[in-house]
Structure 1
Amino acid sequence: MVTNIIILICGYLLGSIPFALVIGKLFYHTDVRQYGSGNLGGTNAGRVLGKKVGAAVILLDGLKVVLAMGIASIFSNEAIAIWTGLVCVIGHCWPIFAKFKGGKGVASTYGFLLASSIFIFHSATNFLIPLAMFFIVLYIFKFVSLASITAVITSSLFITGTSSIMNVESCFIIIASWCLTLLVINRHAGNIEKIKKGTENTVSWL
């Protein structure tokens, strides 16, 4: 019990590492929170500091969840790994190291899906299908926010449809998946309003 609590706390702390802030301040002497959307995610970091930085932040934000779930899988079990992934994403969105103002949880949710594919499902399908949906919607509509929301909904529908509710871990992964989907949608509430008003930023490289 104590070990599991420590793992969950470590998962939150790992998720709380704000790589956009760290890279911006360390290498560019720039606080990305003062520019663009003020968000500590890869999209805003990319807009403020360049595509390479944005890609690096997205990669690191995803990998920290993979690391957290990997550690949980080694020292505990699949159920704890699932909840560790969830609290890691929560840590990313509300990081203790950045005054509880973090990113929108998209890259870290993809980290959750990747880790779930590795440690829970042992299949890449649960990661690749929402990733493909992301790029399809992004290519058609040019909105990162819309593509992100569509992808996480797709992932939860897929996980729900392919998991067996007779298994405890399956119930946990379904619950965690929908929690992350609702979290991502909630974090993009402002973007949804901008899409309705026609003022949402579009990507320029597609």
Structure 2
Amino acid sequence: MRTVYVVAHPEATHHVQDLVGGWHDSELTEKGRAAAAAIAESLRAQIPADAEVELYTSDLKRTAQTAQAIGARFGLEPVQDKRLREKSYGEAEGRPDPWLRERFVPPPAEGERMFHDENIPGAETKGDMAVRIYEVMDEILARPAEHQIIVTHGGALTFVVANWIKFPLESAGYANFNGPSGSITVLRQDDYFHNRQVRVLGDTAHLAG
């Protein structure tokens, strides 16, 4: 049995300042730090005390801070990997959200969606993000650990889950798996059929307190 716990980092400064996130290196707010502690407690309650656990995180501050809170609860040092970052928004990063909305060109309903030009200089396409996330997920899932924790971002979560269910990369332009800030998604593969379940998607019950 393999279980992967995917954490979407909780509230960060760019959320409350109405700024574009992406690779903008915002930090957790006080509320976000409290949420990170709650996430750590929830994961500790779900994972057996004697289990081997691996912990991976995006290298941006908001995810690294979340992963440090989790690592402290498990006695683990997080492994940082920049490929787990959110989509880069190029020149829009750190600017007010309205600046991005005024210039952003959404993908078409049909046709090229993965590598669609969104009209933001320096930004990644959705496909650029998907390729790097699929790459790092293949490496993480090649390891034998039965319990793995991945701390990433809300947008990146879609491609973590898509890779898990072996969704073809060339078709992933239509995929969307919603994971709110501070949520935990639980992915599980059984040892008999080897089916890959999305057992829990975007759970935030641990934040209720």
Query: What's the TM-score once normalised by structure 1's chain length?
Result: 0.35
Which one has a larger percent strand, Structure 1 or Structure 2? 2
Which one has a larger percent helix, Structure 1 or Structure 2? 1
